[in-house]
Structure 1
Amino acid sequence: MNLLATAALALAMSTDAFAVAVGKGAALQRPHFREALRTGAIFGVIEGLTPVIGWALGHWAAPYVQAWDHWIAFTLLGVLGLRMMREGLGGADDDEDDKPTSHSFWLLAVTGFATSIDAMAVGVGLAFIDANIITTAGAIGLSTFIMVTLGVMVGRGLGKLVGKRAEVVGGLVLIAIGSLILYEHLGQG
């Protein structure tokens, strides 16, 4: 794979994480840049590791990963999306001071993993074309780090405008991303 193809792949792999990060940023009480960096780092590391895992699995068990990746992503994103929507619909708009200042590590890690299932599937495909997985995974991780950091800060601005409804929108985005992943995979079958 050449540099342009690697950059395009990295950007494509980070777009769903960006959308989720906007919702995460909107659900927080004026997130600081430090929180955006933390969120970006968690997502970036996970998104950078999953293609390597997929690449390793591709050498061993490609049919199993490709057969279930879309169902795993759909389920995880759907459950997280429904949870966000429930919290967003759980009452009147809260005062800005009632919002959390950060998300838990585990919530971010599960969300990051859910949005990176497609990167794992890409890693499986990269095993078959003998691509340099370290360079590609590094590019995906860096792109995701940047996009998620920016997404949280964009969400910060949107959070002031939309209040609790941001969580509902963020939940809908997660469900839509999971549904799109499922639709694309079932449509290819």
Structure 2
Amino acid sequence: MELIFLSIALAMDSVAISMANGARCMNIKALQIFKMSFLFGIFQAFMPVIGYFLGLAFVGFISYIDHYVAFAILLFLGIKMIKESRQISVHCSLNLSLRMLMLGAFATSLDALAVGITFSFEEINIASRLL
């Protein structure tokens, strides 16, 4: 049951981005909708697996510096958010190119990558979780 809730929670950022893109641009073509759905789904499915194997490969190294890495990432994101909040954006356009869709899919699945890494640290069998 907890795995179902985790899966739903991990998918919410992809759902939010897709809904925002759909609300912002009402004339999205069916092919664009398919590409967005496909890429977001593929990234959400495979990022935990990638994270699991990355975690297995670097568990000895990361365990010594994990708190510094987390601090650096959160510091970077905080400074970036403060900087962006102070900028005035007049022009907003929706770019649904393959490159931007892949970037969005990657960004929204980073939490799934982190879950995969966490699974490797806790020595959870990823094969049983995928089924």
Residue 128 of structure 1 corresponds to 121
Aligned to 1:108: 101
Does the 8 Å CA contact 1:52/1:134 hold for their aligned counterparts? no
* Unaligned segments of structure 2, at least 5 residues: none
Structure 1, unpaired ranges of 5+: 92-98, 139-189
1:71 to 70, 73, 90: 73
Match of 1:30 in 2: 27
% of aligned pairs identical? 23
Q: What is the TM-score of this pair, normalised by structure 2? A: 0.69
| CA shift in 2, pair 1:38/1:61, >3 Å | same
The CA deviation string for residues 92-139 of structure 1, in whole angstroms up to 9 with x for no partner, is: xxxxxxx86x7111101111111111111110111133334246457x
In the alignment, structure 1 residue 10 sits paired with structure 2 residue 7: yes
Verify the 8 A CA contact 1:65 1:121 in the aligned structure 2: no
Structure 2 vs 1, CA of residues 55 and 113 (structure 1 numbering), >3 Å: closer, same or farther?
A: same
Q: Report whether the alignment pairs 1:119 with 2:121.
A: no
The Cα RMSD (Å) is 3.4
Q: TM-score, normalised by structure 1?
A: 0.51
Count, aligned residues:
120
In structure 2, do the counterparts of structure 1 residues 107 and 68 end up closer, same or farther at CA, with 3 Å as the change threshold? farther
Contact conserved, 1:51 with 1:122, CA < 8 A, in 2?
Answer: yes
